[in-house]
């Protein structure tokens, strides 16, 4: 293994969700060196002397989920093996990685973070390993040090960090207890609407008709069996786009879409109230930005627009949609940690 070039380190940024893991292996300028060189933000530009960008992408891949809570330790370890092979760092003794930063959905407790950190440490021995919740890497990917991350994908959650360091998190309870405003919740509401129509003896409305076509169900009541026989959240979340496609012309779809926007806006407002960043008077400083992320908010403009309007009415006018992969935020946070002395994480026995 080559010695690291002074001022440069190899880092691995991971965005670990419930269904997939996105990894970026990068060469970075250490934080102190980047300040001296007046570099920009991570994004894959070449590292050149005298005007270095802090990060240069070496390799990138997407594999199955390495989220222990979602898939279990064996499948998570297999995903990390696949990831290491695709990135060309499969040799535990010669991976050359200084720091691994993983943002993981559901990594909200010390025990959950330690389990994943141990698994990563066994796969990349000697590397500094840090695990945090996925909202933190999203804030970094947006180039922010303070602000709110509002996520709506398969699930939903919000996290806010004030300029003075105070933090608050809301939602993220999972599909059995929460996740309102998520893709799964929107599709579940569409199925409920179909079943209510059936119970009331009404003909299938436009939304129900589309659900039947997309799922192959013959009758609305067949959706009941399908929902329990095929419980994969990702499958149902993938049908949520139908609701937004019909919202402009179908009352049932419009009501579901508006309800999703209200739930998501409430999450963002809740965390901002808890950290004291919602202005009370005209003289208060402006609140930090709200960053919209996750497949629903990024890919459904009407949902993002509805949330933006509700947040502006609630005192949070600066709303932005994330325009880069969250894994780049993990790369940046790894860069900030790289080069400092560290104690290797405890490993999970094979």
pLDDT tens, position by position, 292-349: 998 899 999 999 999 999 999 999 999 999 999 999 999 999 999 986 665 555 444 4
Cβ atoms of 345 and 121 closer than 8 Å: yes
Rounded-to-integer distance, Cα 54 and Cα 104, Å = 23
Rounded-to-10 torsion of CA 228, 71, 142, 237:
-10
38-92: pLDDT as tens digits? 333 433 333 333 344 588 999 999 999 898 877 889 999 999 999 999 999 998 8
DSSP state of 154: S
SS3 state of residue 91: coil
φ/ψ of 150, rounded to 5, equals: -115, 120
The kind and range of the H/E element at 158 are strand 156-161
Cβ atoms of 348 and 119 closer than 8 Å: yes
Rounded-to-integer distance, Cα 178 and Cα 158, Å = 12
Length of the chain: 350
Cβ atoms of 158 and 149 closer than 8 Å: yes
Tokens found for residue 154: 């398969």
Cβ atoms of 281 and 250 closer than 8 Å: no
Neighbours of 232 (CB within 10 A): 11
192-229: pLDDT as tens digits? 999 999 999 999 999 999 999 999 999 999 999 999 99
Sheet holding 99-104, edge to edge: 55-64, 20-29, 8-16, 99-104, 128-133
Neighbours of 58 (CB within 10 A): 17
């Amino acid at each position: 293994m080559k010695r690291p070039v002074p001022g440069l380190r190899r880092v691995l940024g991971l965005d670990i969700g419930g269904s997939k893991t996105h990894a970026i292996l990068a060469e970075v300028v250490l934080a102190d060196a980047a300040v001296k060189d007046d570099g920009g933000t991570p994004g894959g530009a070449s590292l050149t002397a005298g005007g270095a960008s802090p990060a240069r992408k070496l390799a990138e891949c997407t594999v199955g989920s390495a989220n222990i809570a979602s898939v279990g330790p064996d499948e998570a370890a297999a995903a990390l093996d696949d990831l290491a092979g695709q990135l060309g760092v499969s040799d535990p003794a010669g991976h050359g990685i200084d720091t691994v930063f993983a943002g993981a959905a559901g990594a909200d407790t010390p025990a959950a973070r330690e389990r994943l950190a141990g698994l990563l440490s066994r796969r990349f021995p000697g590397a500094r390993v840090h695990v945090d919740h996925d909202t933190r890497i999203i804030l970094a990917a947006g180039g922010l040090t303070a602000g709110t991350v509002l996520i709506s994908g398969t699930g939903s959650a919000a996290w806010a960090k004030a300029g003075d360091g105070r933090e608050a998190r809301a939602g993220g309870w999972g599909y059995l207890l929460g996740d309102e405003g998520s893709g799964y919740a929107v599709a579940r509401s569409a199925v409920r609407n179909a079943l209510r129509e059936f119970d009331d003896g009404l003909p299938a409305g436009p939304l129900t008709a589309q659900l039947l076509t997309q799922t192959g169900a013959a009758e609305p009541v067949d959706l009941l069996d399908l929902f329990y026989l095929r419980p994969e959240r990702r499958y149902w979340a993938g049908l949520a786009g139908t609701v937004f496609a019909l919202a402009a012309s179908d009352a049932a779809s419009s009501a579901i879409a508006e309800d999703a926007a209200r739930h998501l806006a409430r999450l963002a407002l809740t965390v901002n109230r808890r950290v004291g960043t919602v202005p009370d008077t005209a003289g208060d400083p402006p609140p930090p930005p709200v960053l919209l992320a996750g497949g629903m908010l990024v890919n459904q403009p009407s949902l993002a627009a509805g949330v933006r309007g509700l947040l502006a009415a609630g005192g949070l006018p600066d709303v932005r949609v994330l325009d880069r992969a969250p894994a780049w935020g993990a790369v940046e946070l790894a860069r900030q940690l790289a080069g400092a002395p560290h104690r290797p994480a405890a490993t999970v026995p094979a």
